[in-house]
Amino acid sequence: MTRSNAADLGRSILIVGASRGLGHAMAAEFAGRGWRVVGTVRVAGTQLHSLAAERPDAVEIETLDMTDHDQIRAVRDRLSGRPFDVVFINGGIVNRAPSDTTADVSTAEFTHVMATNVLGVMRAVEALGGLVRTGGVIGVMSSGQGSIANNANGTNDVYRASKAALNQAMASYAGRHADHGRAIVLMAPGWIRTDLGGPGAPFGAEDAMPQITDTLIAQLETPGLRFLDRHGQAVPW
């Protein structure tokens, strides 16, 4: 957690996939800055539950598996009428053997990664994006590996394909909502030490989160589609 900023008091964010890793760090960071946070989890006893116990004034928990369309609709219905400044869909997975090419990976695993990172995220965006106030931010956790332009070595083939597909789907979403007055942000956080990022990554989630948070907040009141790194620099599509 970092500083509290009086200007942020009264603001609110919904984070889908906030049980651990970057999503949990994001919940802690926004709560530390005086925001009201609603975070989603799939199971009991997560790090978000500990944060909510420490900060009951700031943190609420909803249950949501992005691969369950009915759960997404139920969360939307429960939160309906409650405008958010930011809705951020963070959840995502990588296939068990990231070095597998798209030709090698099992059909079941390919489908699972796509159903989570693309279909689930987009269903959440479509359903929950409507909770964002005019001038607010609809964000998703993309990845630098979703950049086609920057793909020079072909590693993490399946994961890359899922994030590139997510970027494409978000561009379509932005095209369909061109005049709705909200920022649509695809975040490339960098390589971060989490269960997904692994132990070799150069930064911890708490190190990277102040920059990710600053960049998201900077997008408020500036509608339009942007693919950004955590420092706010444009990432080539």
**Among 90, 95, 147, 213, which residue sits at the site for ligand NAP (rule: CB under 6 A)?**
90
CB under 6 A: which stretch of 98-106, 175-183, 188-196, 223-231 binds ligand NAP?
Answer: 188-196
- Restricted to residues 207-236, the positions that interact with ligand NAP (CB under 6 A) are none
Is position 91 an interface residue for ligand NAP (rule: CB under 6 A)? yes
Indicate the residue among 143 and 215 with the shorter CB distance to ligand NAP: 143
81: tokens are 């009428």
Is position 196 an interface residue for ligand NAP (rule: CB under 6 A)? yes
Is position 191 an interface residue for ligand NAP (rule: CB under 6 A)? yes
CB of 115 to ligand NAP, least distance (A): 8
Count of chain residues binding ligand NAP (CB under 6 A): 29
**Among 86, 122, 125, 143, which residue sits at the site for ligand NAP (rule: CB under 6 A)?**
143
CB of 111 to ligand NAP, least distance (A): 13
Is position 192 an interface residue for ligand NAP (rule: CB under 6 A)? yes
Residues that bind ligand NAP (CB under 6 A): 17, 19-23, 41-43, 64-67, 90-93, 116, 120, 141, 143, 189, 191-192, 194-197, 201
